[in-house]
């Protein structure tokens, strides 16, 4: 009998001990909750419990709190104190490592994080190169059969790696359209445009940043084999809020472009060697503007405009304009619409100055 008493006493001891070492919360209605405080944004608090998982509690409904482990408490005056927390009657007391106790009014609490949440937050501020990427892939496809036999495929990819101090942007897109019913001399390929690039931004101060980048383009219908543009300069954050950004950029670039040698004689005569195949190398200005606005929680609008005046021949220039929207259907799937205009003031003989492109289709987003 004595052994049974000792056994149940031991169970009770360990049960009380485990409860004593857990975080304790008392609510206005008298309920008592036991677990581990994970985080709070000053409005709600997340408590991890053993059997119910994460429980979200209204912060204002808490009358008493006591934690075993340290919490990182950030206040409205942008201070952070660290230590075990006790609290009642609308105020928290944080026992710091120095032995001092800091009182924080509950109304002044902005954030609370445990050690694991704080470590994850700090890592997010300075992610490694393989982490912290956000972006998406756009896919559009159309097919027609009957009186017309056309196939169209549009692909685009973009990814952004942003930290507090810098940002890496990668992009690539391709548009290909084929008309199998075309009659000679009309070409069966009626669109074949590939472009891509990367840019690195580095903040100089909260408003000013420097950038370097490179862009590449191939446009078969303009007989453009490859245009490579290497640029650098300064940018200015005119507007920078969670829902809206507006940046202006200015700098210099070096452009190297090669056009093919193709026949341009009338179709009734035998093909001859082209007279306008050429390579251009020149320095130019880079002038740009980029805009982003979240219309509401599910739709993002983006717009950009770039102008590249030739510094060697000021009568020549290039320009690009892009406008698009992405509307979320689910967490990872959305619907995208994209319109663009690519302008060249001095295209090869027989080619037009403007290429206007519109695509629509699915957007598959990712976060890593």
43 and 106 in a common domain: yes
What band does 268 get if pLDDT is binned at 50, 70 and 90? very low
294 and 151 in a common domain: yes
Greatest mean pLDDT among 52-61, 70-79, 230-239, 355-364: 230-239
107 and 75 in a common domain: yes
Share of the chain above pLDDT 90, in %: 51
- Among the candidates 125, 146, 175, a domain finishes at 125
A 10 A CB-CB count for 118 gives: 19
- Among the candidates 66, 90, 125, a domain finishes at 125
State pLDDT tens for residues 21-65.
Answer: 589 999 999 899 999 999 999 889 999 998 888 999 999 899 999
Q: Which two tokens stand for residue 178?
A: 């084929």
Give CA–CA dist 93/102, Å, rounded. 6
96 and 41 in a common domain: yes
The residue whose two tokens read 């007391």 is 93
In a domain, 130, yes or no: no
349 and 204 in a common domain: yes
In a domain, 236, yes or no: yes
- Count Cβ neighbours within 10 Å for each residue of 46-65 and write b for 16 or more, e otherwise: bbeeeeeeeeebebeebeeb
Reduced to 3 states, what is the DSSP secondary structure of residue 18? helix
CATH number (domain holding residue 211): 2.40.160.40
In a domain, 101, yes or no: yes
State pLDDT tens for residues 123-176.
Answer: 777 777 777 788 999 998 877 776 667 788 899 999 999 888 899 999 999 988
pLDDT over 50 (residue 352): yes
185 upstream amide cis, omega within 30 of 0: yes
pLDDT over 60 (residue 266): no
- Among the candidates 125, 146, 165, a domain finishes at 125
198 and 60 in a common domain: no
Burial of residue 17, with CB atoms counted within 10 A of its CB: 0-12 exposed, 13-18 middle, 19 or more buried: exposed
197 and 312 in a common domain: yes
Overall domain count for the chain: 2
Q: What is the mean pLDDT of the chain?
A: 85
91 and 158 in a common domain: no
- Domain of 319? 135-367
The residue whose two tokens read 């359209």 is 177
């Amino acid at each position: 009998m004595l052994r049974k008493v000792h056994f149940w006493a031991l169970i009770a001891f360990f049960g009380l001990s485990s409860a004593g070492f857990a975080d304790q919360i008392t609510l206005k209605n008298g309920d008592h909750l036991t677990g581990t405080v994970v985080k709070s944004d000053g409005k709600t608090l997340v408590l991890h419990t053993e059997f119910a998982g994460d429980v979200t509690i209204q912060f204002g409904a808490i009358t008493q709190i006591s934690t075993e482990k340290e919490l990182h408490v950030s206040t409205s005056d942008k201070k952070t104190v660290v230590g075990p927390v006790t609290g009642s009657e609308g105020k928290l007391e944080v026992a710091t490592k120095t032995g001092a106790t800091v009182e924080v009014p509950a109304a002044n609490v902005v954030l609370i994080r445990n050690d694991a949440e704080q470590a994850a937050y700090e890592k997010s501020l300075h992610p490694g190169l393989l982490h912290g990427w956000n972006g998406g892939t756009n896919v559009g496809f159309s097919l027609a059969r009957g009186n017309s036999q056309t196939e169209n495929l549009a692909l685009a990819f973009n990814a952004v790696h942003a930290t507090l101090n810098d940002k890496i942007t990668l992009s690539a897109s391709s548009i290909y359209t084929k008309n199998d019913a075309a009659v000679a001399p009309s070409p069966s390929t009626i669109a074949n445009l590939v472009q891509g690039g990367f840019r690195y931004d580095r903040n100089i101060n909260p408003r000013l940043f420097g950038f370097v980048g490179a862009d590449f383009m191939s446009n078969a219908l303009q007989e453009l084999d490859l245009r490579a543009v290497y640029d650098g300069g300064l940018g200015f954050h005119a507007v920078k809020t969670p829902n809206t950004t507006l940046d202006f950029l200015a700098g210099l670039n070096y452009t190297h472009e090669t056009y093919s040698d193709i026949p341009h004689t009338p179709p009734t005569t035998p093909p001859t060697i082209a007279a306008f195949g050429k390579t251009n190398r020149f320095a130019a200005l880079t002038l740009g503007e980029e805009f982003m606005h979240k219309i509401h929680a599910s739709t993002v609008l983006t717009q950009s405009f770039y102008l590249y005046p030739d510094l060697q021949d000021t009568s020549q220039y290039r320009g690009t304009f892009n406008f698009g929207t992405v509307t979320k259907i689910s967490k990872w799937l959305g619907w995208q619409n994209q319109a663009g205009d690519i302008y060249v003031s001095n295209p090869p003989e027989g080619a037009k100055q403007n290429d206007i492109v519109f695509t629509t289709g699915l957007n598959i987003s990712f976060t890593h």
